[in-house]
C-alpha cells in the first residue's frame, strides 16, 4: 500500500514537471519572437536610411534640374538682355552713338581737313559798290557784315581794330597789325556795330584826313593772326578806308545835308545872267 502511494506521488511529480516543461517552452520561444522583432526593428531602422538615400537622390536630381533650369534661365536672360527694350527703336548703340554710317566725330575730322574756311563780307557801307569808303571824322559810323555760306561755325564773339596809314607817323609800333581797338568781344550773331570816331580812336592820337587806314574784323576765340582757324570758321577780314573832316555838314555818302538839286540849278542860272549883263555893259562902254 505504501509502495502504491509512493508510485502515485512519483507519477504526480513527473506529470507536474511535464506540465512545467510545456509551460516553459512558449517562454523559450519568446526570444525567437524578440529576435524577429529586433530584425523587424533593424529593418525599420534600415528603412529610414533607404528613405533618406532616396530623398537625397531626389534632392540631387532636383538640384540638377534646378541648375539646368537656372542655366536655361541665364541663357534666356542673356538672349533677352541682347534684345532691345520695347521702347528702344535700335537707333542707339552701347557707346551712345547713333547707327549713322558717318559718325559725328569722323565727319568733323574729315571736315577739318577738306572743309572750306568761312569768310566775311562788308555790307555797310557796301564796299563792293563804292570801293574804298570815306568816313567823316567825329561822326558815328555804322558797320554791317555778313558771313559766307561756308561759315558753318560762325564766331560767337568778334573783335574789330584799326590801323593808321603806313606813312602817317602815328603808329606806335609799325610791326603791329592794329594800333587801336574799335570793338572787343561783341556778339558775332548781331553782325553790326556802330563806331563812334570821337571815343573809339587811339588814346592820345587824333585822326587826320588821309587814306590808307585799315580795319580788321576777326573771331575773338582765334585771334587776328590765325589765318587758318579751321574749316567753317571765318578768317580775319580787313579793308582799307579813308577819313576826312566835313566842311559842309556832309553825310557819309558825300551829300550835303539839305542839298537840293533844283535850288542849286536856279542859283546857277542867276550867276550866268549876271555874267552876261557884265559882258554886255563892257561892250556898250567900248562902243561909246
pLDDT tens digit at each of 288 positions of the chain: 555 555 665 565 455 555 544 444 444 444 444 444 444 444 444 444 444 455 455 455 554 455 544 445 444 444 444 444 443 444 333 333 333 333 333 445 556 655 789 999 999 999 999 999 999 999 999 999 999 999 999 999 999 999 999 999 998 888 899 999 999 999 999 999 999 999 999 999 999 999 999 999 999 999 999 988 889 999 999 999 999 998 765 455 555 555 555 554 444 555 566 677 777 777 866 776
Which H, E and C letters describe the chain, residue by residue? Answer: CHHHHHHHHHHHHHHHHHHHHHHHHHHHHHHHHHHHHHHHHHHHHHHHHHHHHHHHHHHHHHHHHHHHHHHHHHHHHHHHHHCCCCCCCCCECCCCCECCCCCHHHHHHHHHHHCCCECEEEEECCHHHHCCCEEECCCEEEEEEEECCCCCCCCCEEEEEEECCCCCCCCCCCCCCCCEEEEEEEECCCCEEEEECCCCCCCCCCCCCEEEEEEEEEECCCCCCCCCCCCCCECCEEEEEEEECCCCCECCCCCECCCCHHHHHHHHHHHHHHHHHHHHHHHHHHHC
Look up the CATH number of the domain holding residue 220: 2.60.40
Flag whether 94 is in a domain: no
Predicted pLDDT of residue 228: 85
User: Does residue 281 belong to any structural domain of this protein?
Assistant: no
Question: Residue 247 has what pLDDT?
Answer: 79
Domain that holds residue 136: 117-244
Domain assignment present for 211: yes
Q: Is residue 25 part of a domain?
A: no
Number of domains in the chain: 1
pLDDT of 3: 53
Amino acid at each position: 500500500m505504501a509502495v502504491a502511494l509512493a508510485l502515485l506521488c512519483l507519477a504526480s511529480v513527473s506529470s507536474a514537471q511535464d506540465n512545467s516543461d510545456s509551460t516553459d517552452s512558449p517562454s523559450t520561444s519568446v526570444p525567437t519572437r524578440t529576435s524577429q522583432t529586433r530584425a523587424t526593428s533593424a529593418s525599420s531602422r534600415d528603412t529610414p536610411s533607404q528613405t533618406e538615400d532616396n530623398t537625397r537622390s531626389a534632392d540631387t536630381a532636383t538640384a540638377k534640374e534646378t541648375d539646368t533650369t537656372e542655366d536655361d534661365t541665364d541663357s534666356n536672360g542673356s538672349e533677352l538682355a541682347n534684345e532691345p527694350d520695347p521702347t528702344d527703336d535700335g537707333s542707339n548703340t552701347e557707346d551712345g552713338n547713333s547707327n549713322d554710317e558717318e559718325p559725328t566725330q569722323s565727319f568733323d575730322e574729315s571736315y577739318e581737313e577738306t572743309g572750306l574756311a568761312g569768310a566775311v563780307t562788308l555790307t555797310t557801307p557796301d564796299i563792293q559798290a563804292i570801293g574804298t569808303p570815306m568816313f567823316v571824322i567825329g561822326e558815328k559810323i555804322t558797320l554791317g557784315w555778313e558771313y559766307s555760306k561756308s561759315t558753318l561755325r560762325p564766331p560767337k564773339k568778334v573783335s574789330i581794330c584799326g590801323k593808321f596809314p603806313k606813312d602817317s607817323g602815328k603808329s606806335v609800333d609799325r610791326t603791329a597789325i592794329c594800333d587801336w581797338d574799335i570793338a572787343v568781344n561783341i556778339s558775332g550773331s548781331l553782325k553790326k556795330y556802330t563806331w563812334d570816331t570821337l571815343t573809339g580812336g587811339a588814346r592820345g592820337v587824333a585822326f587826320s584826313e588821309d587814306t590808307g587806314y585799315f580795319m580788321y574784323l576777326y573771331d575773338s576765340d582765334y585771334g587776328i593772326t590765325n589765318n587758318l582757324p579751321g574749316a567753317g570758321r571765318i578768317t580775319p577780314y580787313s579793308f582799307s578806308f579813308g577819313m576826312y573832316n566835313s566842311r559842309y555838314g556832309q553825310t557819309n555818302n558825300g551829300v550835303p545835308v539839305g542839298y537840293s538839286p533844283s535850288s542849286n540849278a536856279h542859283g546857277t542860272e542867276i550867276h550866268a545872267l549876271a555874267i552876261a549883263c557884265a559882258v554886255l555893259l563892257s561892250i556898250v562902254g567900248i562902243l561909246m
